């Protein structure tokens, strides 16, 4: 491969695959020493008889967990923390206190008129 072509592939799709049986993650950057798979081998390029080096599961037992470096699990946790748990209750509090304050002001203003 020429240098130009390598630069064009600056963000290669090096998706990692996780064994759903044992949790082993195949990383294309590392390959698989035990099966003589050289580093840089995509999961799709592995021989069809390739097995999980830990539990000997078939390739079909693996699930795509995204490219290395993105830490998909961490991203999911961030989503849970910011989107689900902290923002919504805060918005609820603002609504509740806002409504209480408005109601209180309305109540006071009625007394003020009399
Ligand atoms: Zn496995």
Greatest Cα pair distance, the chain, in angstroms, is: 90
Q: What is the dihedral of CA 77, 20, 71, 29, to 10 degrees?
A: 180
In the predicted model, what is the mean pLDDT of residues 85-97? 78
- Residue 28 phi/psi, 5-degree rounding, is -60, -30
Strands 25-26 and 62-67: unpaired
- Number of Cβ within 10 Å of residue 19's Cβ equals 21
21 with 34, same domain: the answer is: yes
| pLDDT (tens digit per residue) in 55-78 | 999 999 999 999 876 554 554 454
Q: Vertex 72, ends 68 and 75: CA angle to 5°?
A: 130
Ligand 1 centroid to residue 13 C-alpha, Å = 22
pTM for the structure as a whole:
0.52
Q: Is residue 51 part of a domain?
A: yes
84 with 107, same domain: the answer is: yes
Total domains present in the chain: 2
Ligand 1 centroid to residue 54 C-alpha, Å = 5
Ligand 1 centroid to residue 84 C-alpha, Å = 32
């Amino acid at each position: 491969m020429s240098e130009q072509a390598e630069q064009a592939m600056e963000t290669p799709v090096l998706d990692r695959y996780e064994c759903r049986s044992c949790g082993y993650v195949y990383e294309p950057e590392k390959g698989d020493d035990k099966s003589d798979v050289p580093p840089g081998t995509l999961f799709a390029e592995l021989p069809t008889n390739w097995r999980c080096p830990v539990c000997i599961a078939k390739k079909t037992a693996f699930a795509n967990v995204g490219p290395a470096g993105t830490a998909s699990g961490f991203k999911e946790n961030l989503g849970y923390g910011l989107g689900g748990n902290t923002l919504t209750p805060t918005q609820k509090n603002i609504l509740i206190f806002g409504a209480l304050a408005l109601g209180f002001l309305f109540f006071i203003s009625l007394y003020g008129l009399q």
